[in-house]
């Protein structure tokens, strides 16, 4: 989302964050010109009392496991993308899966941005 519009405040967190961003994720995002090599996974608990226009869960199970946000949340959405971490096979197969899911996320979020968010900025 941040790559669509620098005015957006975007946070990313998980219910069970890894210690580091997966190298495959860094690689496929770099292919799109987005450098996340210095990002550190955050826990969703760090954001529960903040106010958000959108809280968006993106993994298959995240909607069920996401905790209650005590801050004001205007819209809560769930897009059940497959977790690319479950990819198996050789590196080519794994990277193809990461790319596919990256592209699905980009298409979905771009539609959301263009239809709902951009007009309100």
The DSSP string of 38-104 is T----BGGGGTTS-EEEEEEEETTHHHHPPPP-S-EEEEEEEEEPPGGG--SSHHHHHHHHHHHHHH
Predicted structure pTM score? 0.88
pLDDT given at position 103: 98
Reported as a pLDDT band with limits 50, 70 and 90, residue 38 is: very high
What pLDDT was estimated at residue 84?
86
89-114 pLDDT, tens digit per residue, is 899 999 999 999 999 999 999 999 99
* % of the chain at pLDDT higher than 90: 74
Closest to 55 (Cα-Cα) out of 63, 46, 111, 65: 63
DSSP 110: H
Rounded to whole angstroms, the Cα distance separating 113 from 17 reads 25
* 23-120 CATH pick, 1.20.58.100, 3.40.50.2300, 3.40.50.1220, 3.30.70.270: 3.40.50.2300
The CA-atom distances, in angstroms, between 25 and each of 29, 91, 112, 114 are: 6, 13, 22, 25
Task: Categorize the per-residue pLDDT at 62 as very low, low, confident or very high, splitting at 50, 70 and 90.
Answer: low
In the chain, where are the structural domains located? 23-120
pLDDT higher for 70 or 28? 28
């Amino acid at each position: 989302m941040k790559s669509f519009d620098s005015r957006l405040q975007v946070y990313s967190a998980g219910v069970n964050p890894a210690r580091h961003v997966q190298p495959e994720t860094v690689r496929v995002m770099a292919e799109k010109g987005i450098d996340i090599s210095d990002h550190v996974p955050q826990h969703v608990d760090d954001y529960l009392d903040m106010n958000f226009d959108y809280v968006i869960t993106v993994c298959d199970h995240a909607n069920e496991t996401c905790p209650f946000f005590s801050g004001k949340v205007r819209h809560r959405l769930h897009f059940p993308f497959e977790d690319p971490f479950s990819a198996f096979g050789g590196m080519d197969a794994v990277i193809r899966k990461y790319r596919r899911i990256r592209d699905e996320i980009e298409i979905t979020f771009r539609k959301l941005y263009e239809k709902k968010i951009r007009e309100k900025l």
